[in-house]
Structures are given as C-alpha cells and as structure tokens.
Structure 1
C-alpha cells in the first residue's frame, strides 16, 4: 500500500503536493500577506491614544456607519431580488432572455467611474428618473446605497445560478403531489437547498460594497459627516500625507470585514450541516 502510494505520487502528471503548496504560500504571501502586513506595520508606528483618536473621530465614525450600513442594506436587497432574477433566468424562457442574462454582468464589465457618472446623471434632480422622484437621491446617503446595490447584484445572481440549474424540478413536483402549496414548497424544499449559495452571494456582495470607491464618489456628494464613505476618507488622508492615519482606518476596515466574513462562513457551514442532517 505504501509503495503504491509513493509510485502514484511519483508518476503524477500534476506537480506534487510540496511544490504546489510552496507555490501557493509564496503567491499568497506576495499578493495578499505582504501588502496587508505593510498596512499593519505602518499603523504600529502610532501610539495607542493616537490610533484610537484616528479611528474614532466623529468624521471617521460617520463614514463607518454609512459604509457598513449602506453595504449591508445593499447586500440584503441584492439577496432578495437577486434570487428573483436568478429564478426567472433559470426557470423561464422568454424573448430576450440572453440579453437580460448579459445585462446582469454589466456591473462587472462597466468601469466603476462610468457607473458612478451614469447613476449620478440618472438620479440627479433633472435626471431621467430623479426628476420624477419626490426625494433626492444623488449627493445623499441614498445615492451611496443605490450605487452599492448596483455593483453587488451580479455576485448574488451568478452564485445562485448553478445551484438553481442543478435543482431538480421533481422535488417541487413531489411536494405539490403531497399537497404542499407554492409557498410551502419554496419555504421547505427550495430555500434550504439554495441558502448556502445565497449566503455566499450575500457575503460577496457585502465585501465588494465595502471596498467600492469609483461608482460611489460621484453620486455620494462626499459631504463630511453626511455622505462620505470610508474608502474616500482613506484617500483623503493619503493626499494629506497622513499615511499612518490612513492605514489605521484601513486596518479597522480590514479587521471588521474579516470578522464579518468569518461569521458568514460559519453560518454557511452550519447551514450545510443542518441541510445534510435533514
């Protein structure tokens, strides 16, 4: 048995584990760990009182509330309507289906600055949509929410799509045969299966929105304490040569984002175990 394993490992077409693992660690170190470590090292040049003042000033706290709040709400909206869009694309045939499917990927391909300018023009006071709205969208926190919702939709749809395509219609037919209503079929048959993918799409949309910059700065208005997002505040501090202050805010964003992603991944794992036990 030991000889056969060694022979199989020696004659494998793909590189061995040692080589592949070493390359993986080296690549991740160069691309991910070193830049993040540099941010932490620069932040460590601050004393604790200076660090605390830099990351808890009223202007910074206002940017946290707007960035995390708008990102969370945008991801929630995309989770709901992304599921609806994905369901329509997977389960129904209609004229122009390929066009609609391609439009889902538009936020991926569209430069973020172009998206920001387009959203600002559409939702401004004299824009195509904004002129008919009883409230102001552009240059307000609501504009930030609109931009973050726009860029997050493809993550939910593309994550859910392969799961719904593999979902057998026989399960729904069996539930209907047993007397289940459409809502009961969705609640007890479909939703438990797609929940892990839905949470993954939500996490991706949320993480993408946290770091968004280009599509937001045009429509936000960038008013301190009102519509200023945290990535813009980091750029502002860099332009003022306050590198330690910028990295301090970046470290807070990194730690909070990582903690949120860990929590969401733990929830996904729990959902998979629960689904496997049913």
Structure 2
C-alpha cells in the first residue's frame, strides 16, 4: 500500500471515493456530503440495537444503520452493545442471583425472555434483544444497509468466522449485498481476520492509528473510524492519502456526532461518514433536508 500524492486535492479524493466506494450509493444525489449512519439504529428515539431502533431509522429516511454483535453461552449471535445485559434489559430482576449478568453467561433462550425496551421508555416495554439472524432479516425487509461491529472479540473466539457464516447463510455475501455491508471492530486482529477470510468485504478499524501506522492498517482495512472528538482536518487528509486493500482511498467515518456544530465541524474536515444517534439532526446540519 502506498501513500497517494499529498498534493491531491480534496475534491479529487471525494470524487474518487464517490465513484469507487461501496457506500457511494448512500450518497447518490448528494455527492460530497458524508454518509449518515444511524448508531445502534436511531438510538436517540428508540431503544438501541433493537428492531424498533432500525425501524425508526427507516421511517426517518436513513438507509445505513450500525449495530453490535456478541455471543451467548450456547453460541447464538445476538445484537447488543455491552458485554453485560444489565444496562439495557431487566436481567437483574429476572435473574437476580447471576451478577454480573454477562452476555456470554446466558443462553439464547434466557436472553429472549428479557425486556430490552422498558429501560428506555414504557412505550417500548416488551421489546426483545434480537438475534443477529432476526436483525438481518429485518434489515433486508427495510432495504437498509449495515455497519456491523464485532464487539469484544476477545471474549468470543471464532466469532468472526461465525458471523461471516451467518451473513452468508442470510444471503449477505453476494455482490449486491456487499455494497450494503461494512464490518468494523476496535480489534485490529479481528478486522484483519475478517479481511483474510472474506477479502471482498469492506472493513473498518474503530480507532485512530498514528499516521506512521496507517500503511500497515491499509493492508486490511478500508476505513479508519475514530471518535470525532479526536479528529483534525490534517488527520483525515493523512488517512485519505493511503489506498486500502481494494485500491481506493481509505475512508473516515467519525463517531458519535449528535449535534449540529459537531456534524458541521467533521464534515469540514472531509470525513466520508458520520455515525450518530440523531441522524435527523446531522442531516439538517449538513443541509440535506
């Protein structure tokens, strides 16, 4: 992987990314504006990582959603952010003697009994923790696109292979679906594994490698997705100066941006995507209404 000529204009980078990126369809009719990704679904307006949350994103008019995948005690992939069930379910009430209520210590049947909506609002009482299979079927039904995060892979050996197998079984590894799919993780090893197993998948590293490290990351990841608070225009330009494993410039999706000022700031840096709990707020900030 080699550094692109630094003097390459930002306009040329954006044009190239729009033409070659698998996310270019997300910008159709809106060239030059970042892709807006609904974080854990439209999680400011419905309980995160639930079917209700991705349904809400669809109703708001957003096609890209993000989720988190972990594994139960008996090997089922489920969609939940924390490695503990305590924050977003009533597990403490249903299973009071099983602290610290880790996902990996509960069976899929036990997790299916949990209420994953009441913590957010009584209006969502009875909402369940979806399995990844249920989630993918709803994504397909809603004609949405997915930024899938492999969460805590160190807790779940082989979760990359298992996730890819499920995606394949659900028909998500054909050419048309690959344009609607990105896989990310905070673990560079996990993303490297995904790339090695399925090189056609668009991958993203969650974090901020040093500029000196970017040439290494560019061998196995297509995007570098840092916290927006740590970003600068110079860093975004440095990332764009490298070609990733699919021969296109590395992209940058910033997270988690929930206000107008933040959205406008990172858009000014030239990011390719913005991950947000409030996609409608970001859309308004970018003048996309």
Superposed pair shares fold, TM > 0.5: no
From the two aligned structures, give the one with the greater helix fraction. 1
Question: What is the TM-score when the length of structure 2 is the normalising length?
Answer: 0.28
Question: What is the TM-score when the length of structure 1 is the normalising length?
Answer: 0.29
Question: Is the radius of gyration larger for structure 1 or structure 2?
Answer: 1
Relative contact order: is structure 1 or structure 2 higher (C-alpha 8 Å, sep ≥ 6)? 1
From the two aligned structures, give the one with the greater strand fraction. 2
